[in-house]
A and B are shown apart, each in its own frame.
Chain A
């Protein structure tokens, strides 16, 4: 296989991870947060999002195609690394490994999540508050979803850091450290939003 295009594919992978996939994840978690305001509020928001004009076009071009590229090329990246945190237990080396672990985990989680919700909707089941409450009534699934949400917020936040480095925005060690602190903040904020929404269904 020719790898001449690797540089551009890597850059595309980094870009798509933030725009649109990262933006979609943030938006998704925020919309989910309607669940904390009760069943009706969540169902209204869910109906609004599910009945946007050109919804299929939006889904394919903003979510599925970029997400699939990011996921499948990401798996290739994850399995070409030879992790060595035993030798170098630095913060960045751990982040490097966790980015790959959460990435692979997310491929599994998101596949399952899409099967349980979007594909069931296509098969005729209604996606609403009751459906999610049903799924999350199982303690195993609740843990699975909490792990999935945390993996997603971590992968996004740490991905924002590597986006800043990969595109040459943060060059000096100082600026890279400041971006680290900012992305830790992004991780915490999005995690709280995501977990609060999940717990609203229990």
Chain B
């Protein structure tokens, strides 16, 4: 048994994994591809492969190079930091298993965002957008406001699905309308508006959030290509969120124009 394992290990060691990685030295410099060939290990993911390159930064031509830079944090697909374009599709590199990918495995940064270096992108645009849409529930007062209204359990269940969003940026990368010609905040951020407007306390400011997505870069920029819902690694019903907000803003338009006593309820 041990002998067999040793043989297997030897075979495994002779096996390699091929990578083509898009490098970029500075935010302004031109990108270029660099090839790597690294020893195969069972159950490798793209991150462990990148770690191997960092340990031994030698490219496929055998020349010493700079280690490839990438972002990572949780390693269990809940933080979104390690998102990149793998074989043409944006996704998290922690859950991209080498055994399931065709080689050479092509890694590129998500160019919808400004590239910092190699595979590292700056996702600040999304975090700024979260502030714009007021993606929080205001509960502070000068005195104890007490308990908020009760949330129906069935509503909690579907809003929980929306709360799985990790602001990874994959849906923005997949969307044809998030680009440098538009200011579109992207599907993930719209879905967050639905999430916070669905909350009984959050809905007390729902007209403010709707006003934000009825302005520059908001809901109007959606062209219904529905790529976002296909791309989302968390299976969030983004297009349903968008359609729900379309209905909410239609009603809000009437309220704003003709007047209403029900702006926030």
Please list the residues of chain A having a beta carbon within 8 angstroms of any beta carbon in chain B. 2-4, 6-11, 77, 79-84, 86-88, 90, 92-93, 95-97, 162, 165-173, 176
Contacts and interface: CB of A to CB of B under 8 A. Distances in A.
19 contacts: A7-B214, A7-B220, A7-B249, A80-B179, A80-B182, A81-B176, A81-B223, A82-B181, A88-B227, A93-B176, A93-B226, A96-B226, A170-B243, A171-B240, A171-B243, A171-B244, A171-B246, A173-B239, A173-B240
A70 to B, nearest CB: 15
Contacts of B227: 84, 88, 90, 92-93
Contacts, number: 105
B214 A168 contact: no
Interface of B: 88-89, 174, 176-177, 179, 181-183, 213-221, 223-227, 230-231, 237, 239-240, 242-251, 253
Contacts of B251: 168
Given A7-B214, A80-B179, A81-B177, A92 B224 contact: yes
A4 B217 CA distance: 8
B157 to A, nearest CB: 16
Contacts of B88: 86-87
Contacts of B244: 168, 171
Contacts of A83: 176
A171 B227 CA distance: 16
A167 B252 CA distance: 12
Closest 9 CB pairs of A and B: A168-B247, A96-B225, A7-B220, A168-B246, A10-B220, A92-B226, A171-B243, A80-B181, A3-B216
A132 B179 CA distance: 44
Contacts of A80: 177, 179, 181-182
